[in-house]
Every structure is written in structure tokens, then in C-alpha cells.
Structure 1
Amino acid sequence: MRKLGSETLVIATHNAGKLKEISALLAPYGVQCVSAGALGLAEPVEDGTTFVENALIKARAAAQAAGLPALADDSGMSVAALGGRPGVYTADWAERQSFEGEPGRDWYMAMGKVEGLLAEQGPAADRSCWFSCVLALAWPDGETAVYEGRVDGTYTWPPRGTMGFGYDPVFVPHGRDCSFAELDPAEKQKISHRADAFAKLVAEQFGA
């Protein structure tokens, strides 16, 4: 398996929260990270139907545009009672429609959409849910590697906490009483879906 060298690694995101979290996870291995946003790279069209497909689209586009290895993260929440939705369309559910205000993402609105669909099923609705994360590494010559992670939990309402992003305020991981957004970021990084995927990446890329 090809290993990451000492080159700068492009994190294929324009999301400051993701960049900060990923950079912190890679810092112990001496990896210098720069975001696709900081390099002025365009965001590719994510037209895949799975997390793996979309992560590879982003990683390959960033690697080819920057001429450097690139790491992309595609992640989302799936809710059992909704047949796994929003899943790969997690971010799309946060996009405001023309009648919902200025263009952009409204995560509170997205969380409310999920809650509304669960509420329609009544108090007995299955609130089991999980976060999935796929990390895709790509090199400019086209070689790739993929790592998948997952964490299970329960969908809670109303949202709780201010330290996370996305759907973190409504996700209570199994074995905990607080939401991801109530957890100290360092603690969240130990148990998150992204941490699970990163553990697999680290074992393969930086292990003996």
C-alpha cells in the first residue's frame, strides 16, 4: 500500500470545522494540512450515490488540481426509521430552498426536517441513528485508498450543545448521556465516526 510522504496534504473541504478536526487528528504524524478552500480550488459536483463515491470524487479533484496528495471526507447521518435517510444527502437537507431564505445551509432546519418525519411516526418511532464517515486518499497520478468508519447512537430533540457542527446537537452516541455538540472536541474525536475511519487510515498509512 502506498504511504503518505512529507508532502503537504490537501484536505478537500471548504468547511472550517472539518479542516480543524482533521488537522488535529493528523498533527501527531507530522502531516501539514491545507484546505481546498485556502487554495482556491473549485468544489466538484458530488453526484455519487454513496459516501465512498462522493469522497473519491472530492479527493481526486483536489489531488489533480493541486498536484498534491488529497484527503476527502464524506460523512452523514442515517436514521433507522427513515430508511437510512438523509444518508448521503445529509448536507442537501440543510440547503435552503428559494422560499426558505437566503441561499446556504441551515443545519437547524435540517435537524428539524428529520424530527418532523420522526414525529409523524409517533412516540414509538425508532430513533436509532448512526453517523458514517468515508475517508478517501488520492494522489495526483490517480492512485486511491478508502477508509470507512461508523458510530451509532440515538436521535434526540431538541438540539443540545454548541461545540459541534452539522447534526452533532441531535446525536447522542451509545454509552453517553450528552450529544456530540455537548462533548469536549477532544473527547468527541476519540469516539466519532471520523475517528473510527482515521484509526484505520493511521494503521495503514503510519503503522509499522
Structure 2
Amino acid sequence: MSQSSLRTADPRLVLATRNAHKVVELREILADALHRTGLSLVGVEDFPQVGEVVESGVTFAANALLKARATVQATGLPALADDSGLAVDVLGGSPGVFSARWSGVGGPAKDTTSKDSANNELLLAQLADVPEEHRGAGFVCAAALVTPDGTEIVREGSVRGVLTRAPRGSGGFGYDPLLELPDGRTLAQYSSAQKHAVSHRGAAFRALATDLAQALAPVG
């Protein structure tokens, strides 16, 4: 099967998330690849038939593939998914794949701001007595592309820093206000363009962009 045959008549590429922040972020990161393929990136909110996926994988790559496969199966369209999280050195790499639900799984599914705050507060409390020299941590992201014919590609990216003692910055989401990079700013203090250039998600999806453009190139 040729690469161009992987394209469907529908020009949408589905990002397996209901997080509006991620959809906007990925449209920016993948702008060139989307332009080259003529695809528009949409979230699963546009597809009520896509159910919640149990992220039962024990790695970021496994969870990304679970979400992308389920989205392709439900929509018949090529899908992107990522799984990412914060790995804290003194916690043995946790929260890791449990980052989004570190403070529990209760509460409204769409109330991401409250969940982010709860996760951040719990993590800071757990590390309250940890000295500066042991507050190393990093974000890790696995990005997956799955097409209706069964093609599967995964790329990974990471960024390292140290954890602050209080959130700083109003940009980004999740644990962004807690990870301070070597220049003294948290990811939440970067502009969108600056964050995309250094972030784990930016690195993973930039690596995947070439695969995307090749696999989903328009016919002709």
C-alpha cells in the first residue's frame, strides 16, 4: 500500500484528547505538517462516538497507542495521541503515567483547571521537606500516529529541570508552573512559541511531524 493511500476523503486528523489546551498547542506545533498535508487537526469533542479510553498501559508509549487506536477505530480517521507526565527523581519517576490523576480521579471530567491545581498542591506538599539539590524532575512525552490501515509510529521527547516550591507563571497547564528550566523560568512563564521550542511535547511531535507528512501526504 502506498503512503498516499493512507489518506481518507475526510481531511481531518483527530487528536485523541478532550483537553482544548492540547488541541491549540498541537495545531501550533504541527502547523507546517498540517499545511503540507492539507489536514485539519480536531479533538475528539467533534466525535461523540469516541468513548473514554482506560489508560491501562504502564508506559507513556503504551497509553498513547491505546488512545490513538481507539480513536481510529471509532472515527475511521487517522489519529494522533500523546501521553505525557512528570517524572520526579526522588519519587522514583512518579507521578509518571499517573500524572494527570495524581490527586485522584474524582471531579468533573472537564474541570482540568481544578485537577491541575489539586495535582500541583499534592505534589508540592509531598516534596515540602526535599532540599533543592534533590528536586530534579523532567517531563516526558510519547506521541503516537495511528492510521486506519494499521500503521503505528511513536516518537518521544523530554525536558529536564527542577521543581519549584510554589507555582510560577500563568501560561501552560498541568505541572508547567512547577518545573523550572535552567534559565530560571518555569514552563508556565514561557510564551507559547518558546515553550513549543523546548518542551517534551514539542520535541515528541516535531519528531513525529516528518512521519505524519510522509504517511498522510495528499495524493498526486
Q: Normalised by the size of structure 2, how large is the TM-score?
A: 0.84
Assess if the C-alpha contact under 8 Å between 1:151 and 1:192 holds in 2: yes
- 1:124 Cα offset (Å): 5.3
Aligned residues: 201
Name the structure, 1 or 2, with higher relative contact order (CA <8 Å, separation 6+): 2
Map of 2:21 onto structure 1: 17
2:195 pairs with 1:192: no
2:93 pairs with 1:84: yes
Map of 1:66 onto structure 2: 75
Assess if the C-alpha contact under 8 Å between 2:171 and 2:191 holds in 1: yes
Partner SS for 1:167: coil
**One-letter amino acid of the structure 2 residue matched with residue 154 of structure 1:** V
Matched-pair identity in %: 41
CA 79–2 in structure 1, closer or farther in 2 if over 3 Å, else same: farther
User: Cα deviations across residues 172-193 of structure 1 (Å, max 9, x unaligned)?
Assistant: 123x211111111111011100
**One-letter amino acid of the structure 1 residue matched with residue 31 of structure 2:** A
Matches of 1:26 and 1:182, distance apart in 2: 22
Q: Normalised by the size of structure 1, how large is the TM-score?
A: 0.88
Matches of 2:210 and 2:151, distance apart in 1: 18
Matches of 1:94 and 1:13, distance apart in 2: 20
Map of 1:93 onto structure 2: 102
Map of 2:66 onto structure 1: 57
Runs of 4+ in 1 over 6 A off after TM superposition: none
Partner SS for 2:47: coil
Map of 2:218 onto structure 1: none
**One-letter amino acid of the structure 2 residue matched with residue 73 of structure 1:** D
- 1:199 Cα offset (Å): 2.2
Map of 1:149 onto structure 2: 157
RMSD of aligned residue pairs (Cα, Å): 2.0
Matches of 2:133 and 2:30, distance apart in 1: 39
